Chains A and B, each alone.
Chain A
Amino acid sequence: MIEVHREICAYCGCCVSVCPEGALELVDAYLDIDTNTCKNCGICVRVCPLGALEAKK
């Protein structure tokens, strides 16, 4: 499960561009994760410039 820390996220779209599954979508300032398509690969967690994403067991 990928968790978005909304207090940290600055809705920049960097993570959206690297997600191989297209599971992320920026709805203006709200980062939405489609948990049905997310494969928990963790790429988005690595790329975030602010560290707003966390992989949870």
Chain B
Amino acid sequence: MKREYDVLVVGGGPGGAFAAKTFAEKGYSVLLTEKRPAIGAPVRCAEGVGKALMHEFFKPEDRWVAAEIEKANIIAPDGFKMELEPEKAGAEVGYVLHRKVFDRDLVWMAAGAGADIQVKTRAVTPIMEDGAVKGAILNQGGIAHEVRAGLTIAADGVESKFARWCGVDTTVPLREMETCAQYLMTGIDIDAHATEFYVGNNIAPGGYVWIFPKGDKTANVGIGVGGDRCKPGNRPIDYLNRFVARNFPNGKAIELIAGGVSICQPLPCTVANNLMIVGDAARVSDPLTGGGIYAALYTGKLAGDVGSMAIEKGDTSAQALMPYDETWRASYLGKALERNYQIKEVFVKLNDDDLNAIVHSVSKMNLSDFNTLNLIKNIIAANPKLAIKLGKAGLKSLLDSF
């Protein structure tokens, strides 16, 4: 078995698979190692992604797409439903994917491009020499062996242990961990082309309930709750069971999903000597929506592009890899993360009266020139009490983030 590669990728999610594919296409030898026996399973996702974002990378295969989404509904704590029709709102429409199929196809593509793949093989320790990562010790079937690599990509998802072992603190603060439970439900009466979001402190404190259709009468019905709001008897699974009992008493749950999404700021630095950190491991999931598929694809590919150039020049030091960190921060993604972090900081403090007032006032707005900044200005104008609550500093940081 080969024990030396140009690139070692730890983790076979979208971030790792896209990085591996990119390096392999440029002719480098790549090993992608995934600790689970099957790529993409169990699913840790509600599987929604914006169409335009997806199209940046590919035209999705039919088998990846469970449903096409045309509009979103937001339901206020008082039950008032606001429809956000994207044609009117200018917001993008989306897909709900089959991640089991999608994730596996991405790894398939990486293999097709020449990457070696090992499943049920866990990276257990980085090889550190002179303050630089030189690969990792992998455990495969109970046997540990060394794999040396010039460059290692930490794509190990929300757990993000690999970078931590390399000396980067990846701990997510409790209050910034969105803790989630989800059922794949069937036999439920839903609009197969609309996503629904329920907000409210009795429904999902510090988060929301989502319904993401996956076809006729079938949807991911899930919830995220702020980690600090989670208590015995009021854990995500408890809130979810109550929501389902109220809204879909006759629905059938055919899959249970648990998971966590970080809603913190990205890591202060996403490179180290011979190491690049991508996707959830870098804490680049969206702090407001919890979405991280696009971010994983984007950072995975960018790591492949920047890392390849660094290998070619024979310098993969942290300094030589910095353009990766700088590029994603300056990109659409980096800016959206910054802005949505500020919005999230406001959102988690809202009480139900605030939430009701916001949803009602947004529904009355003329959204012909819809964008987030306009939306926020309008919300604040319609709800002066909210502006007081945010305070000068809060308002400033919110508006500055645009």
Interface, chain A (partner B; CB < 8 A) = 10-20, 22, 25-28, 43, 46-51
Contact = CB atoms under 8 A, between A and B. Distances in A.
A16 B37 contact: no
Given A12-B259, A17-B260, A49 B236 contact: yes
| Residue of A12, A17, A22 with most chain B CB atoms under a 10 A cut-off | A17
Interface string B163-177: 011000011111001
A28 B35 contact: yes
A12 B261 CA distance: 10
A13 B157 contact: yes
Q: From DSSP, what is the main secondary structure of chain B's interface residues?
A: mixed
B180 A49 contact: yes
11 contacts: A10-B42, A10-B258, A13-B260, A16-B158, A17-B171, A22-B165, A26-B35, A26-B159, A49-B180, A51-B232, A51-B235
B143 to A, nearest CB: 14
Nearest to B157: A13
A43 B44 CA distance: 21
A47 B37 contact: no
B177 A14 contact: yes
A30 B122 CA distance: 13
B342 interface: no
A11 B35 CA distance: 13
Interface string B85-119: 00000000000000000000000000000000000
Contact of B258 (A18, A46, A49): A49
Nearest to A47: B227
Number of chain B interface residues as a range: 35 or more
B237 A18 contact: no
B308 interface: no
Given A17-B158, A18-B171, A50-B237, A10 B177 contact: no
Given A12-B258, A47-B260, A51-B235, A22 B227 contact: no
A17 B36 CA distance: 17
Given A22-B161, A47-B174, A12 B120 contact: no
B178 to A, nearest CB: 9
B174 A13 contact: no
Contacts of A51: 232, 235, 237
Interface string B42-58: 10100000000000000
A43 B172 CA distance: 11
A7 B171 CA distance: 26
Instruction: Return the 6 tightest CB-CB contacts between A and B, nearest first.
Output: A14-B260, A12-B258, A49-B236, A10-B258, A16-B159, A13-B159
A19 B35 CA distance: 20
Contacts of A18: 171-174, 177, 227, 260
A13 B37 contact: no
B161 A16 contact: yes
B207 to A, nearest CB: 11
B162 to A, nearest CB: 11
A25 B161 CA distance: 8
Contacts of B181: 49-50
A40 B259 CA distance: 22
Nearest to B173: A18
Nearest to B259: A12
